Chain A
Amino acid sequence: MIDAENIVYSIGGQRILANVYATFKPGEVTAILGPNGAGKSTLLKCLTGDLKPDEGRVLLAGKDLKHFSLTELSRRRAVLSQANPISFPFTAHEIVVMGRNPYSLEKTTASNAEIAEEALNLVDAWHLRDRSYPTLSGGEQQRVQFARVLSQIWGQEGACLFLDEPTSALDLRHQHQLMDLVQKLAVEKKLTVIIVMHDLNLAYHCTDRCFFIREGWIRGGGTSKDLITADTIAEIFDLPMKYAAMRFGMDLAG
């Protein structure tokens, strides 16, 4: 459960987020949608605690993020950021094991290694486990990073999962695999899942709720099926109606 209360965030005098209120519930997958530069990633970083909002607060399970220690937080929420290059030849498996860092003192190396293997298996990347990470393709790297994030909250019921454009480098099959997995885990493990995404189609079909953000303002909170319509798309993305209708016409609405 994540609550954003009156979040304000500015960079260099320019307001990126203005009085954002939003609630994200466990067991649900929520999409954050909006045009480029609308503040989606900034909002995500505020929700994860990576950025401190100028005003307002973020509550995790009713408790202000400020009152969590880094270790506590690291066991209750995992974050998949956009691509971050690694120039050292770690194997995919070694990268995923790093996701177990919050538990390195109390769990054995062997059990952490095993969790990492299972996480790799879940994202269809087990066969990459001994490959050197920098030599993997963009999509493969993205899946390995996703496995790392999963291993971080492995077995943690009710944890939060933040994903920033997790499907941007994936082919169609893996996009759907990932979204299916996310939906399944959200229900089974009571995860609160928050995804920043661009693919409205995928958001329409694979997320429970969505928020639209534009020029720092947020709205929505309803179900994705209700909210993602040609009308809203045209308005939020400043898209001429004919294009919006082209993308979200009859077949989707019906």
Chain B
Amino acid sequence: MSLNDRAAGAPFSFRKKKISVLPLLGLLLLVVALISVSIGAVSIPLSEIVSGSLTDQQMAVLNSIRLPRVLLAVIVGGALAVSGAAMQGLFRNPLADPGLIGIATSAALAVAIVIVLVGPIAGYLGLYALSVAAFAGALVACFVIFRFARLTGTFSVTYMLLTGIAINALSGAGVGFLTYLSDDQQLRTLTFWTMGSLGGALWISVIVAATIIIPSAVILVRNARELNVLLLGESEARYLGVEVERLKRTIVICTALSVGAAISVSGIIGFVGLVVPHLVRLTLGPDHRLLIPASAILGAILLLIADTFARTVVAPAEMPVGILTSMIGGPFFLWLLVRQYSGRFGL
């Protein structure tokens, strides 16, 4: 216990002041949102919004296209990142992403079943119905993964990822089969869902998603301290007074709700749930009390940037944002595997 030992610990002490990061991230989100609102096919300069000198056309674009889309990107990005962070805590593994382990695809399958077999239901009711379907699909996948990952007695990451592959393949086949059955109109909707896009953003999708996602995220944040303890192991958490079964159930349900709601309005947007919590952990550490809210804001920022690119880069056409996030997320995942191999995983 020499003085040198104490000094050696010093470089890490910045973590103690990291709470102030949240307002900073929030500010950044606001800036990105304002920029994103102003650019697009119809330019809406910020100065004109502030001075109130918008034309009727600009006003219409802002109100019915730009604003809902920006808000939806924020909500969906936040939901995906938060559920990624919570899943990783629950599975005690940083590779658990709702997309990778099949939760997103089975939610999409449930949505596809509703679209093709039930047909279109318009308005709030329809959107909530899709959300509920996606939620059910996500829940079933969570349950199956948990069962299979524990087949060996202890929780196995290999089994978790392999189960994910199986679920992805099955859901893919299911969606494929439904595609084969569907008519032209349904086909377009299905394609939109499997590629992931925020192009269909309407105020009702914003409201439906927000009313499901925000409460779920709040509940997850409130369970953050116990989620930390769960990372010690299930028995250890129980020794420390955590009601493990209740905690796991809460997390699975909230995550499935968020993922389900996000997917029902945007389709499958991959890798946000993997990349964002990782970036946060790299800089702020793994404490869920900070990780979950910081992931929410950073996820919102990143998806908003990605979506702004997606709708402006190939204008006047538009590229599904899910393709963009997968193009970035795929290599990122490979990089994580390399890090794991070099024995510095999760640092």
Contact = CB atoms under 8 A, between A and B. Distances in A.
Interface of A: 45, 48, 50, 70-71, 73-75, 77-79, 81, 84, 86-91, 94-95, 98-99, 101-102, 104, 121, 124, 126-127, 129-132, 134-135, 148, 152
A-B residue pairs, 10 tightest by C-beta: A74-B241, A127-B5, A130-B12, A130-B9, A88-B286, A84-B233, A101-B240, A102-B241, A71-B241, A79-B239
23 contacts: A70-B241, A73-B241, A74-B241, A78-B239, A79-B236, A81-B233, A81-B236, A84-B233, A86-B92, A86-B232, A88-B231, A91-B12, A94-B228, A98-B229, A98-B240, A99-B240, A101-B226, A101-B229, A102-B240, A131-B9, A132-B347, A135-B347, A148-B232
A74 B244 CA distance: 13
A70 B243 contact: yes
B94 interface: yes
Contacts of B345: 87, 134
A104 B287 contact: no
B241 A101 contact: yes
B325 to A, nearest CB: 24
A78 B13 CA distance: 29
Nearest to B228: A98
Contacts of A126: 1, 5
B64 interface: no
Contacts of B235: 45, 50, 79, 81
A87 B92 contact: yes
Contacts of A101: 225-226, 229, 240-242
Interface of B: 1, 5-6, 8-13, 15, 92-94, 225-226, 228-229, 231-233, 235-236, 238-243, 281, 285-287, 344-347
A107 B123 CA distance: 50
Contacts of B229: 98, 101
Contacts, number: 97
A98 B228 CA distance: 8
Given A130-B12, A135-B347, A74 B239 contact: yes
A148 B6 CA distance: 20
Contacts of A45: 235
B347 A89 contact: yes
A74 B239 CA distance: 6
A86 B240 contact: no
Nearest to B282: A89
A73 B243 CA distance: 12
A194 B100 CA distance: 43
A73 to B, nearest CB: 7
B88 to A, nearest CB: 8
B238 A87 contact: no
A74 B12 CA distance: 30
B346 A89 contact: yes
Contact of B346 (A73, A79, A87, A98): A87
A101 B243 CA distance: 12
B273 to A, nearest CB: 16
A98 B225 CA distance: 9
B347 A74 contact: no
A152 B236 CA distance: 11
Contacts of A104: 225
A87 B232 contact: no
Nearest to B291: A88
Contacts of A134: 345-347
Given A87-B94, A87-B346, 17 more contacts: A50-B239, A70-B242, A84-B232, A86-B232, A88-B94, A88-B231, A89-B285, A89-B286, A90-B287, A91-B12, A101-B242, A102-B240, A104-B225, A127-B1, A134-B347, A135-B347, A152-B240
A117 B288 CA distance: 21
Tell me which of A94, A101, A148 has the highest count of chain B C-beta atoms within 10 A of its own C-beta: A101
A50 B232 contact: no
A170 to B, nearest CB: 18
Given A94-B287, A127-B1, A50 B241 contact: no
Contacts of B9: 127, 129-131
Nearest to A99: B240
A70 B235 CA distance: 12
Contacts of A130: 9-13
Nearest to A91: B12
A75 B9 CA distance: 30
A88 B346 contact: yes
Contacts of B15: 91
A18 to B, nearest CB: 23
A90 B243 contact: no
B309 to A, nearest CB: 31
